Structure formats: structure tokens, C-alpha cells
Structure 1
Amino acid sequence: MQIKILGASGFVGRHLGRYLSLHDADVYGISLRENDTWKSQLIDDGDVIINLVGKAHDHDRRATENDYFHTNLNLTQDIFRVFCSSNATLFIHISSLAAIEEFESEKALGEENDCRPVSWYGQSKREAEKWLLAQEVPEGKKLIILRPPMIHGPGDKGNLGLLYKFVSKGLPYPLSKFNNRRSFISITNLCYLIEQIIEKSDLLESGIYHVADDEPMATNEIIDIIKLVTEKSSIKMDIPKWLIKLVAKSGDYFSFVPLNTNRLKKMTSTLLVSNQKIKDALGIDKLPLTAREGMEKTIQSFVVNKR
């Protein structure tokens, strides 16, 4: 089987390419930076196209609304049009949980829940979903849209890195007042699900599917894992929530402050996701790694790379 990955040089793309190659697939990474040559590369022989292209992180805070919509919507439209003309029969588009909810849900979100994106990232991802779902998928082809929550694993550059730096250095952890649970997905479980989708695509209907670990995790549980793996002790500071929120607010205006409002919400709010639809469709009982096993694997990679 020949699989073509757009965005193969990114965090997910590197892991997914290796994973699928180990499962006897011919994997080709395609770059959109090569002007329009990527279009001819997609039209050539191939069975599956996976779109990982997307703009999520804005570490320099310079991205505009147009930057997000160009990458997450316009490029997705271009890629899907080429898919429709190609020999590929399966198009897997990686969207985001941010397309439905970005900060908080005490109830595990299903695919049928109302969408409430807030940021340019979430809004652009949702607009791409709506556009794709409105298209007529050619006969014999299938469209699968995946919505993952925070993805983590070796090489991860997300919010887990900030948490790890606090705890691994023995610094007092200032967010212990917040008691929350969140759904994550380890890169191992995500790669496994994508491989299963490719293998069993005949069992799936075109549409949106949530992907997540089987269990949510509390931030305090992640802290305990970091302490266990690094053999470091960290004092949990009893700082009032109002003061933490004030510091985060200042981070919205000053980039040298390591915490901002959005990052605080993502680290301290409860956001749960149900993965039952995709598991039922594929006949999966349990994912390869528990949420804790996946998190331990990620934290161990931080230690090895001395993050």
C-alpha cells in the first residue's frame, strides 16, 4: 500500500511515517513548499492521502487571521480537490478538538455536540471541516476527518514542556489549586488508530471521528509522573487562583511571561473527549497504551533529551 503524507516533516508526520513504514506501507512525504509540483505527486500512484498540514502554534505571536485560514482552510481545499482527481481512495484529514471546543467540557464530547471554536486556529479548523463535509466525495472514495485533543510524545513541543520544566527542576508548582481532568492522545495511540483506519477503511463511513486515549488525566497526576520519572520532588505552592489568573493575564501582553490566559486554561480546565465512535467502528476494545503509559513514555523522552 502506498501512503502519501502532507506535513510529513512535523511532529506527527515524523512519528506516523515511521510507524506506517514499520507496518509494511510505502510512505512518501510530500512538501507543499515545492510550488505546484506537490499536486502532480499526489495524482500519481497512491492509495491513501493523509493531510497533516496545519497552523497551530504561534510562539512569536506574529500570525494573522489570514495565516490561519490560508493554511488550515484554503490549503485543505486545494489538497482535497487534488485527492478527488487522484488514484487514492482514502483521504484522512487531521482536524482538531479545537474545532468543537477549546477550553472546557465536563462531559465527554461526542462528534454530535455543537461546535464552539473561539480562536482563529479553532475557527479555521472548523471551517475546513464544514467545507469538506459539504463536498461530494467521488464514488469509490472515502473522507475521514479526525479530531484529536492535545497530542504528545517524544519530540513534543506543547504545554507539557512547560510543566516538565517546573517539576523536573524542583521548582515550586504554582497551579496545584486547580483540580482538573483532560483528554490527551499519545502519538503511539494516534498512529495506531490511523493505521487501523487505513487497514479497515471499509468499516467506516465518511465523516468526523474523535480520537483520544481511553482515559483522561489530571494535571496533578501528570506532575506525579514527572516526579517519579525524574526522581525530583516539587513543592505544590498554595497560590490563590485569582493571583495565578492575574499573572496569566500579564502574559497576554508580555512574551517573557511563560504563562498566558490561553495556556492557563489549557493546563487547568477540564476538557473530556469520547473516542467510542471510532473504537466501535473499528472493533477496538482498548488502545495499545493507557493514558498513563503514554504520558510516562513522553516524560521519559524529555529526560533523555534533557529538555
Structure 2
Amino acid sequence: MAKQLSVVVTGAHGFVGSALCEHLLRSGHINLTTLSRRQSGFQQAQHVQTELSASTDLSAVLHSKDVVIHTAARVHMMQDNAADPLAEFRLMNTQVTLNLARQAATAGVRRFIFLSSIKVMGEANLAGVPFRSDQTPNPADPYAQSKYEAEQGLLQISRETEMEVVIIRPPLIYGEGVKANFQQLIRLMQKQIPLPFKAVNNSRSLLALPNLISLIERCIEHPAAANQVFLASDNHDLSTADLMAMIATAGGKKAWLIPFPPALLHGLGRMFGKKAAIDRLCGDLRIDISPTMALLQWQPPFKPQAVISQAVVAELSK
């Protein structure tokens, strides 16, 4: 990217947004505007502190901008206590997204990049077939449904205006500063508790944070990215046992895994209300990113073990 570009990033203090902003600022050719509910932590960027809503007026912020990268979202939660989860997810993930996109199109923004989720494709592979971008989506929970509805709305806006839309569907993202389930797994492996996953021979696609940032950067200007939906991953699938071993090794430990029949694990998961968690740990979720790589002339530049090691070291140094 040779010329200066004016880029807006929402969710600038989130796990993905903060790392993305730091990377774009280091590139030296981005005039960056950040949006988040917190005060700015990026001295070289213009910052707008705002609470995004379905009616927030951002027309002045979006004026004369080239690209919007929308990372802000209401994230998926294993236990959601909202009275109406779908309504809450739709409010932030669908209505806020489309309000922002409509204003961006009116302001003359050239490209809108939306961080969606592989959960739009479904919870797991059917008949062992990896997810592909040409498959019919199958969003199974309120979070995935809200993301899919946002995707559909964005593609409609792109058809009605001159603004290009790029949709990226990542799986679980890991890296330095990771939270939620991956963070818990790091802490669990440090406790040296025996875990019943040695016999789990599954295969899951993950996405290192720096690989996601590399992909987003490619999508900012690549002409072939316009109005496309891209599946993303490291292009290096891991079993649950492999992942746990990598995390343990990075923390100077040995993974203490014992053989346990997967069918029994699934049965115990149903019995104790942990079916979704066990399904994720034991099931397959593979993603075919060959169309993404071919269309964008891109390959994930970072290897899983290196990024996992950075994440573990950062977590244990807290």
C-alpha cells in the first residue's frame, strides 16, 4: 500500500481491534481514526469516544474516509443471561453494523470490512466436510444468526450503493492478550490436572491474531476482495490434544492427558449440561481457506506454535 489511506477502526480497544490499530499505525501509511467506548490509547490516531448504537450519528467521523473496519461486536458467550439473547445480539451485531454501514456509504467510504464469524456456517462439520465459502450458511444460535443477518444487510447495501463490502468469517482467534476460553485453557494446563482428551482424534481450524491482521490488511486495498465473503484460518488444523500439548510446552509443562472414550465424554457432557463445551473440545471444525488464499494471493504468515507460545508467555507474566 503506497498511498496514504484514511481508515476507521471500531472496537479499537478490543482483543482484535487494539492489535489491528497498533499494526496499522506501525505501517506508516494509514491515517487512523479509532472508535471505542474508552479513551484513546493510540497517540498517533484520531480517537472518537462513543457508545455505538443503532442510532449513533457518525456522519462527521466517516466523512472523507476510505475504509471502515468494523470489529466491535457483542461476542458469543457460553452462558448468556440476557432475557432475550437474540434481541441483544441483533441490537449490537446487526442494527449497529447496518447503521454504521449506511452512514459510511452515504459519506462516500470506498470499502467496509466486517468481522463476522465462522459460526455463521454452523457449529461443526457435517459428514467430515470442511466449511467452504460456497456452502449454504447454517447459523444455529443467536450470536451466529445476528452476524449472518448483518452480512446479508451489508451485501444489500453494497448492491444499492457504490461502497464495497468485505466479510471475514474467522474461527476461534488466539494470540497475545487472548481472553475467554483460550485464556482458561492456558491456566488449566498450568495446574497439571489430568485431562481426558488423549483419545480425542478431532481436527479444528483456529486463527492466530497476527494471521487475521495480515488478512485484514490484504483486504483493505486488494481489488479482488470487493464484495466477497472470506473464510479464515491458520491453514494448519490441530486436534484438541495437540493444542493442549502446545500450550503446556509453551508454559514449561507437560500435558497430562489420559485416554477416555469420546462417546463417554459426550454422554457426560449431556448429563451435566456441558454438551456445547464438550462438542467444541471433541468435534471437528475444519475450514477450507483455499479460495481465500487463491483470490487474494495470500497465505497465513505465522505458525500456530509461535503465536501460542507468545500468548502463553504473556498470560503467565501477568
Structure 1 residue aligned with 2:188:
166
Residues 150-178 of structure 1, C-alpha deviations (whole Å, 9 max, x = no match)? 11111111322232222211111122232
SS of residue matched to 1:77: helix
Structure 1 residue aligned with 2:68:
49
AA aligned to 2:32 is V
Structure 2 residue aligned with 1:280:
294
Structure 2 residue aligned with 1:39:
58
Q: C-alpha displacement at 1:287, in angstroms?
A: 1.9
CA contact (8 A) 1:169 1:232 kept: no
Structure 2 residue aligned with 1:256:
none
CA contact (8 A) 2:250 2:308 kept: no
AA aligned to 1:186 is A
Q: C-alpha displacement at 1:204, in angstroms?
A: 2.5
Report the RMSD for the aligned CA atoms in angstroms. 2.2
Q: TM-score, normalised by structure 2?
A: 0.85
Structure 2 residue aligned with 1:152:
174
Residues 212-264 of structure 1, C-alpha deviations (whole Å, 9 max, x = no match)? 11211111111221222222234223334355335434654xxxxxxx22222
Q: C-alpha displacement at 1:98, in angstroms?
A: 0.5
Change (3 A) 1:89 1:196: same
Structure 2 residue aligned with 1:257:
none
Q: 1:192 aligns with which of 201, 214, 228?
A: 214
After TM superposition, the structure 1 stretch with the greater mean CA deviation from structure 2, 136-145 or 151-160, is 136-145
Q: 2:21 aligns with which of 7, 17, 22?
A: 17
Structure 1 residue aligned with 2:40:
none
Q: 1:28 aligns with which of 12, 26, 33?
A: 33
Take 2:176 and 2:156, find their aligned partners in 1: how far apart are those partners? 36
Take 1:58 and 1:271, find their aligned partners in 2: how far apart are those partners? 18
1:118 aligns with 2:136: no
Gaps of 5+ in 1: 253-259
Change (3 A) 1:94 1:266: same
Change (3 A) 1:158 1:220: same
CA contact (8 A) 1:42 1:82 kept: no
How do 1:45-194 and structure 2 match up within 5 A? 45-58=64-77, 61-63=80-82, 64-105=85-126, 106-137=128-159, 140-194=162-216
CA contact (8 A) 2:158 2:227 kept: no
CA contact (8 A) 2:186 2:248 kept: no
How many residues align? The count is 296
Gaps of 5+ in 2: 37-49
Take 1:276 and 1:144, find their aligned partners in 2: how far apart are those partners? 17
Q: C-alpha displacement at 1:136, in angstroms?
A: 4.1
Take 1:21 and 1:137, find their aligned partners in 2: how far apart are those partners? 32
Q: Percent identity?
A: 23
CA contact (8 A) 1:51 1:93 kept: yes
Change (3 A) 1:137 1:223: same
Residues 116-154 of structure 1, C-alpha deviations (whole Å, 9 max, x = no match)? 111111111111112222334466531101111111111
Take 2:87 and 2:260, find their aligned partners in 1: how far apart are those partners? 39
Q: TM-score, normalised by structure 1?
A: 0.88
Structure 1 residue aligned with 2:285:
271
AA aligned to 1:27 is L
After TM superposition, the structure 1 stretch with the greater mean CA deviation from structure 2, 113-122 or 51-60, is 51-60
Change (3 A) 1:262 1:38: farther
SS of residue matched to 2:69: strand
AA aligned to 2:300 is L
Q: C-alpha displacement at 1:38, in angstroms?
A: 4.9
SS of residue matched to 1:146: strand
